[in-house]
Structure 1
Amino acid sequence: MKTEFVVKIRGWPFSSLGVIIVVALVGAMLGALVYYSLPALTKEGLLIYTTNRWDPNAGSFGGLAAIYGTFVVSLVAVTMSMPLAVGSAIFINEFTPGRLRGLLIAINDMMAGFPTVIYGFWGLYVLGPTLNPTLFTWLHSNLGFIPLFSTRPIGGSYLLAATVLAVMITPFASSLVREVYAQVPSVMVEGIYALGLTKLDAVKIKLSYIAKSLLGALSLALGRGIGETVAVALTVGGVLKVSQSLLSPGITIPSLIANQFGSAYTQIEQSAMLSLALLLFAIGLTFIIASKLVLLRGGAR
């Protein structure tokens, strides 16, 4: 007989206490962001989210460029990382021998835990100088008639930041997909091979079985990547403008705050940045909650 012990503090299970503490911390952070954002929201209203004029000297704060850049970089990064994450998870689970599998999992998990500043400097000094004169220039020269590639690449850009972010979140997304993929019932796997189907057929059936869980895992990776600061700030270019071209320099909410918060001497400017942080908090929390719900529904079969 298995005996389970539950640690209680004055009648409260320890797990319940942990949930209460986490909820309280999230509520405290949300309350602080709302409180410190009120001066800017009172002055600018929703214009802080819908206009694109950020001029502290003139007392004008419109963060549309940062909001736009945040979504563009995050969505492009997730689009690039999706096939890499799913492909690596399938390769590790289906085609890798035991010892090599353990090594690849260790490398993947180690990369997921690297400090983001490492990815940022790698993107700034290695990936950017490599891709700008080669792939990005080719895209501009041959596909420049498409608005997405209409700008000549020079330095930082949406696409460079998205590429660095994709490399950064792929190990994290791969670990999530790997765990979800491994949860396919063994009875189903045995049935697949009992019917004489190939391994490729088995992979297709497994992927269709965990489709909702895959979406949840990748949404969770997007929620993690949408708030990335250092790596994106070093590679996005830091220019406050909205551009259709992925090869143009831009800015994101985290990089705007990182670059300018230290030099913000007025309360209203700090409040404006915190109002953008409030929006980022809401977006990230929404993605995480939605992904968790999808994961739970995907796992309940």
Structure 2
Amino acid sequence: MALFFRRRKPHTSPEEPWKDHASVSRETGPRRAAVGDHDPDVDEYGDELAPPAHVIKQLPRPTEPRIIVVANQKGGVGKTTTTVNLATALALGGLNVLVVDNDPQGNASTALGIEHSPGTKGTYEVLMDGVGIIEHAQPSPHSPNLHVLPAAIDLSSAELELVNERGREHRMRDAINQYIEESGVDYVFFDCPPSLGLLTLNALVASTEILVPIQTEYYALEGLTQLLRTIDRVKGNLNDDLVLSTILLTMYDGRTNLSREVADEVRKHFSAQTLPVEIPRSVKIAEAPSFGETVMTYQARSVGAVAYQEAAEEIARRGAQEES
């Protein structure tokens, strides 16, 4: 195994089933310990919980690394939430995963328990100084298989600084190609800001797949139409390998006609790309980052965690099928 992943702890042996996600969570006080005490199937917000026997599955490994940019030009659709939870689910399933935090806000770094205070070296240094990803990627406390290239606020200046640089659109692609050779990574995820600047463009050029989270509300298809135009422009000029591989419906509320109608409309137009599972609205999903965690480690039995695990399993299964 190459240098980067030599730091991994050994996987649980086949004789010992994977433990519940909560076993890798950090303690956050009495309030979390009390979750579900009164009703084993419902938490304190009324969210349903999965059965106690819910465990992590060993996921199939792709024969080639998959490089996925999580993108949507519309804000507030769950891009960062989707990135960190899918990455964590895949890592807990035994796959080697890198998350590149490409957003100066650093929300992905926060959710994955990674230090990203001003001056922290990460994505900025890779883009501006040509430093290798392997030098600044940090292991997440949530899984020994999960590493993160953090984003500090310094990254906000990269948009302007890159404008006059030669080969500015290809800097991240070159860094990712080098990292793949050095690390033995299975999945790379890019978390991007909700804009089509040079940061997002670098991620689009570096990736081979786009995963689009779509909020099941009125403007969902309009935002997707704009993104498809962007993909066509990138494919025609900078990256012919880029494809829209996955659509994930987020913030789904099956009690409303609107959510059901939007989901039906998306599946009608993008049946092959849309995952069969929807990510429900869940307090636990929104609450987890305040503890520096994803919902996968914060409350593994919540409906949100179960949905993200099912989505990760489907993504891994499709990837293994495509490569086989």
Task: Normalising by structure 1, report the TM-score.
Answer: 0.27
Task: Normalising by structure 2, report the TM-score.
Answer: 0.25
Structure (1/2) with the larger strand percentage: 2
The structure with the larger Rg is 1
Structure (1/2) with the larger helix percentage: 1
